[in-house]
Amino acid sequence: MQRDPRAFLWDVREAALAIQSFTQGMDAMAYENNELVQAAVERKFEVIGEALNQLSKLDASMAAQLPDLPHIVAFRNQLIHGYATVNPRTVWGISRKSLPNLITAVQGLLDRSYP
């Protein structure tokens, strides 16, 4: 049985909200000095990238509505496969600059899917 594409959106939203929760009250320096939080955040970014990769295979038109989807999947691949070491500052920056837009876009798709 094929998975409902909206389930991938839900996975993305929940992982992104978890990242925000994990880093709440932190600044870049605190993040860089906390390996536990770094590991948790990176894992959630892996979940986001995998969910969006699967969504793009299942419903390309829905996936195309999400900002920077190819970059997100590529970032996941960097984290998983270690093509290059990902600097904690890069992860921090993405969590602060790109993640809020992704949450908004995913929530918008979920809101349209569940009127």
Contacts of 41 (CB under 8 A, 6+ apart): 19, 22, 23, 31, 91, 95
pLDDT > 70? residue 83: no
Tens of pLDDT along 1-40? 778 999 999 999 999 999 999 999 999 999 999 999 999 9
Q: What is the pTM of this model?
A: 0.93
Q: Where are the domains of the chain?
A: 5-113
Average pLDDT score over the chain? 93
